[in-house]
Chains A and B, each alone.
Chain A
Amino acid sequence: MKEIVVISGKGGTGKTSITASFAYLGADNIVVADCDVDAADLHMLLEPDFAKSEDFYSGEIADINQDLCIKCGECANVCRFNAIPIIDGQFVVNQLNCEGCGYCARICPVNAITNLDNNVGKWFISTTKLNSIMVHARLGIGAENSGKLVAKVKNEAKRIALETKKDFVLVDGSPGIGCPVVSSLSGASFVVIVTEATVSGLHDMKRVYELVKKFNLKAGCIINKYDLNLDVSTEIKSFLKAENIIHIANLPYDESFTRAMVEGKTIVETKKDKNNNLKSIIIDSWNKIKEETN
């Protein structure tokens, strides 16, 4: 079983549209994992049924029992996160600021503080419209995206892929270079970086590739909107060459991607003749990626 992780550094480069197309092409041989738990969009193209849903708890959050509190203020003193303000004469926990370190509870002289399990979201196991299995999640509002929910989604997808003898886990990652991205990269067999031919696309892919390099992972790159700026495209290609990153494909600037999305479809599902070119590039890309993971 191989794990293919799609990331981009910069947001909005077409990561999810492309991942959904691969999910369509590899349908019965894939378990899909949407690891962009912060702004998950893949479900809009794959229509999962949310058949199994479970709360996800990660870390703790402090809770002050006002009946026991003697208002000594020690908790607020030791808190490094400004999470215990005084409101109407009472020491209360600001849940958005609390990191759940538990320091306040440990030093409270009257044991007025307890740590409650922190519900940070929900995760789901679904069957998609393609009859494939998809694991996905929804991070709670204001919850910390520590990477633990990402790890949960990924590990469940892996477990299911092994059990049902699928060849691939396909992971849609999140933008950036922080915890959630690190978490989605760990254990990857092959990383697909989707970038675009813009100065920011280039800048951001270089940064995220530094991270990929730290993990010693094999990577390939799809240049989206390559014809928007041929100079930047050339620069991206020389970077790929210098770093030994496989150049998987160039995709032209084409609003058919958006039109397909509005219809809730992946680009490979659309029938219009005009899209044949995009379609065949994506099919070739998927075949190439499969070969590279072998």
Chain B
Amino acid sequence: MKIAIASGKGGTGKTTLSVNLAVFLSETYKTNNIVLIDLDVEEPNSGLFLNGKLISSESKYRMIPKWNPEKCTLCGNCQKVCNFHAVLKLGKKIAVFNELCHGCYACSELCPTGSLPMVKEKMGELKQFEVGNINFIESRLDIGQEQAVPLISQTIDFVENQFDDDSIFIYDSPPGTSCPVIEATKDADIVILITEPTPFGLHDLKLAIETMDELKQEYAVVINRANIGDDSVEKYCKERNIQIIAKIPNDRKIAEIYSKGELIYKQIPEMKEELKKIGKYIFEMKNGEKR
């Protein structure tokens, strides 16, 4: 069972929900098959709320071409076949601009003399932690690496190989509606969209819903900071028959607990009540009572 927690707008509570839900589920259902994965590789935050024990750490790489001048005839085919202008023939040299390369292999495989072998370039770090009986995976993009998608995709592969299919996977996804979010949510069984009841929240929720519809993905909504703004998110969901599974109250105390990197539900009973609703929703789906 794969649950992706996403949102169009940033800062609406994706990480708060992901970490609180993961720990709540593992404690309440006494299960040891909860896997929490931080896929917001540009700015991974889940780990700040979890006191985990590091189990393993590995560098993650992407493949880019590297010029080997020995046999190169400077025919310029590499430059011709690169749609991203990442390979240029400059005088008597071939220059590769790593940050422009998408790793399609065309220049390398279509080079008549094999002068552009693909080599590994480090793009980030994947770490595995144990937090109580939760498995927590965090991937972190190196600063200066511009493309999040390859690291997100490798992280999902890692997780799927490492853990039982029967596990409950919680993906803390990146914000927005473009490629990184799509990569993080496309294989999920359900996407929980968390938003806040404000004009910005509603606007970005609509974008996120359009994206999920495009992916033909199932989704439900959680409202965070309920009552801080207006009722337009609720109205919108009602009109479109979108299920609102929980409403996390607006409370300065919650913001203060969050600011310290602590879990909300252990101090705020109302938060625990809302997590129970989400837990119930997830287990009903898992047991096939929904859909």
Contacts and interface: CB of A to CB of B under 8 A. Distances in A.
Interface in B242-262: 250, 252, 255-256, 258-261
A81 B42 CA distance: 21
A26 interface: no
B229 to A, nearest CB: 5
A9 interface: yes
A101 B84 CA distance: 7
B147 interface: yes
Contacts of B9: 11-12, 39, 41
Interface string A165-208: 00000000011111100100000000000001111110110011
A264 interface: yes
Interface of chain B, helix or strand or loop or mixed?
Answer: loop
B43 A229 contact: no
B83 A102 contact: yes
A101 B49 CA distance: 40
Given A39-B176, A39-B177, A176-B43, 12 more contacts: A41-B199, A102-B81, A141-B177, A142-B214, A175-B175, A176-B175, A197-B259, A200-B261, A210-B143, A229-B256, A232-B259, A262-B198
Interface of B: 8-12, 15, 42-43, 45, 48-49, 81, 83-84, 102-106, 109-110, 141, 143-148, 174-180, 182, 186, 198-200, 203-204, 207, 210-211, 214-215, 228-230, 250, 252, 255-256, 258-261
25 contacts: A12-B10, A39-B10, A41-B200, A41-B203, A44-B203, A78-B106, A96-B214, A96-B215, A100-B83, A101-B102, A103-B104, A103-B105, A115-B83, A139-B178, A141-B207, A141-B211, A176-B43, A176-B175, A176-B176, A200-B48, A200-B258, A203-B43, A204-B43, A207-B143, A232-B259
For the complex of A and B, list the 4 residue pairs with the smallest distance between their C-beta atoms, beginning with the closest: A11-B10, A12-B11, A101-B104, A229-B259
